[in-house]
Chains A and B, each alone.
Chain A
């Protein structure tokens, strides 16, 4: 397909992304757009330095390869370099969504399904502003390398997103609901999800009171637990932060105890959802990767480069936001594994605490933070009055030991908009999930 230069490693990632966006703002049609974006990222490695180029004219790929060749320094031993040796060689065509390809569904059908959700937003008078959006995305990626990889695969998703502002007593409260599916027909008939969210947000807006700041036992809902796992430990497991850093390698040695024995954190691109990537952007086949198993650090997330540097195995976590960027180490679907308590048992053990039901955003360095969108007091084991909380936070390494209960069922969550940010590459779709998680010693403000 391409003439790859001798004594250099080269790969080409071609992306064809077909999207639809239809949006009503305050019941007026504001956007109705279909588009196709095609581009390519070319990477070249000479054993010392990487060279990348992103282009939109696929007819120029060979010319771009030849241009990079001039900049790079040919190296007879490049194929024996530890990085190149780490690249998996995969071949084949894996178009899972050929029969249900969202880009082949008529625009009228997409508009019709969105219209079926509009009346739900008219049912509550207190909704002061509304946005209702249909979005879909069908992406085909084709990765070809000088080492022999030639793999083509697809991913897709469709979603309905409702966003609204409820105003009670002059104070705005933002709410949203998100229906995320891999196939179009699965979006139908889920108006109750949006209706229930609006009713709950309305109750929260009317009745929530300022929280008394302090240190509390918190129970995290599955989506909150998923974001907690992502922010608190997921980013720390991304191996590009460790390359060449002896302190980090020593501190994060595989086999180290990092949390309570009931804690398991897993990342996998195999699972359908926002983090579904059957192959990563280097053509490595997706795997299930335990980051923490029974409280012990058991793995980390890798690209071929980081796996080579740390002498570990590739994990299929080299991902790029789109063809304009090179793949870096990113999460896929990250979740906390199930425990053995029922949800009732978890709550029963809390005399005074806070239940974090839903979130606006989270962050994680030494200190993790979660900004809740809905939180409730727990009194004598029962969910009580809604409370307004700016942010909850804790020290990551202490908090992982403060988890003392995990429920027995995992729920996975995907969001149609937004995603994970890592430096310049935002947003990247990722999945979150978990059971209900009880954790002590959380600072609530």
Chain B
């Protein structure tokens, strides 16, 4: 609700000032409609949330493992950085190992094998055969 309100206010900044040379309808005409609708519906949802308990099909079933969730979230963030810096061939096995470890997998031999084979397979199939761009590692450009 707050985000839609702020974005709506942003549409009144000078850069979006209506210019008849650029068409008959302002460039933020439609975004304003969307943001107003979003604001109103978010407000309705908030009001509904205060007068009744939330039961609209939340997916959380049972208890959430917050510690594991935080660890996996950290691993995912770190994975993005590792892949960007080290590339797929070197960073890929680290990403798989890191995420699997935080998810509770504890067989180091299987993990190492899967991590290395998967990374090399992806590099070969996507990068070399299919010609798809794979992370090469920014660190190698700097060195």
- Tell me if chain B binds chain A: no
Q: Which residues of B approach A to under 8 Å, CB–CB?
A: none
